[in-house]
Structures are given as structure tokens and as C-alpha cells.
Amino acid sequence: MECQDAQTGEPRFVICAVGRDGPEYVMTPFGHLAEGDPYDAYVPPI
């Protein structure tokens, strides 16, 4: 889902688990999409 970054205020797309609590939907964020090339954003473990 699209959220607002808590540090910068920029829009960020977040990966969430979706569950139910009675009639309500509960969304738990656990990751976000990297901007640009994700291979440039992270260094793999050695």
C-alpha cells in the first residue's frame, strides 16, 4: 500500500501482511519497495 515515510514525508510503497480482526482489516507492514535499481540499493551478505 502507499504510505508516507515517517522520516522524510515522501510517499513510499509498503509491503504488508493483511489479516482480519472481526469485521476490520489489519495491515502489518514488513518491507518497502526500493526506489530505482534494488541491486544498487543493497549489498549482499558475504
Look at residue 36 and tell me if it is in a domain: no
**Cα gap 34→5, rounded to integer Å:** 13
Look at residue 43 and tell me if it is in a domain: no
Look at residue 34 and tell me if it is in a domain: no
Which pLDDT belongs to residue 39?
A: 81
Q: How many separate domains does the chain show?
A: 1
Annotate 26-46 with b (16+ C-beta within 10 A) or e (fewer).
Answer: eeeeeeeeeeeeeeeeeeeee
Look at residue 21 and tell me if it is in a domain: yes
C-alpha neighbours within 13 Å on the C-beta side of residue 41: 7
Query: In which residue ranges of the chain is pLDDT below 70?
Result: none
Look at residue 42 and tell me if it is in a domain: no
Look at residue 40 and tell me if it is in a domain: no
Q: What is the pTM of this model?
A: 0.61
Domain that holds residue 18: 2-29
Which pLDDT belongs to residue 13?
A: 92
